[in-house]
């Protein structure tokens, strides 16, 4: 497996994006690594690229963008039970705790620990 990959990134607190070479992430026990095969832009990505007032208040560069994607699982963490290498997947871009009242009662969209791919943590505009 490659050790570096290209990614579309917001390198600093200013308008614009760049394509950079970055390390392939090391997966954590409950994570999967996906080879991105399709991705799409959304308004959130444009806000970040333009560095408008919303982005200035919400995003902390440097950051890899992208939260709408699909691809093939190439590695799974040791605690992953429902995804396997070779699975073709898309992702729910809101990563929640899974333990709070809201998560346990089907209201994960209200989880106070929500972190969004490409906004709060590295996203999918990468290989």
CATH number for the domain that contains residue 15 = 3.90.180.10
Considering the domain boundaries, does residue 122 fall inside one?
no
Residues that are catalytic = 44, 47
Range of the domain at 42: 4-116
Instruction: Please report the pLDDT score of residue 92 as a whole number.
Output: 85
Write the pLDDT tens digit of every residue in 77-93: 999 999 999 999 998 89
Does residue 73 carry a pLDDT above 90?
A: yes
Which DSSP string do the residues of 28-76 spell out, in sequence order? PTT-EEEEEEEE---HHHHHHHHT-HHHHHH--SSEE----EEEEEEEE
Question: Does pTM surpass 0.85?
Answer: yes
Residue 43 — pLDDT band, cuts 50, 70, 90?
Answer: very high
Is the residue at 71 inside a domain? yes
Q: Is residue 23 part of a domain?
A: yes
């Amino acid at each position: 497996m490659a050790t570096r990959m290209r990614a579309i990134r917001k390198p600093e607190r200013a308008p614009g994006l760049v394509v950079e070479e970055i390390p392939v992430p090391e997966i954590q026990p409950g994570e999967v690594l996906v080879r991105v095969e399709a991705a799409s832009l959304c308004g959130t990505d444009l806000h970040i690229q333009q560095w408008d007032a919303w982005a200035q208040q919400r995003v902390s560069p440097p950051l890899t963008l992208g939260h709408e994607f699909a691809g093939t699982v190439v590695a799974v963490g040791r605690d992953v039970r429902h995804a396997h290498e070779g699975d073709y997947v898309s992702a729910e871009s809101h990563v929640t705790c899974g333990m709070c009242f809201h998560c346990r009662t089907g209201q994960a969209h209200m989880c106070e620990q929500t972190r969004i791919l490409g906004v709060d943590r590295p996203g999918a505009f990468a290989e």
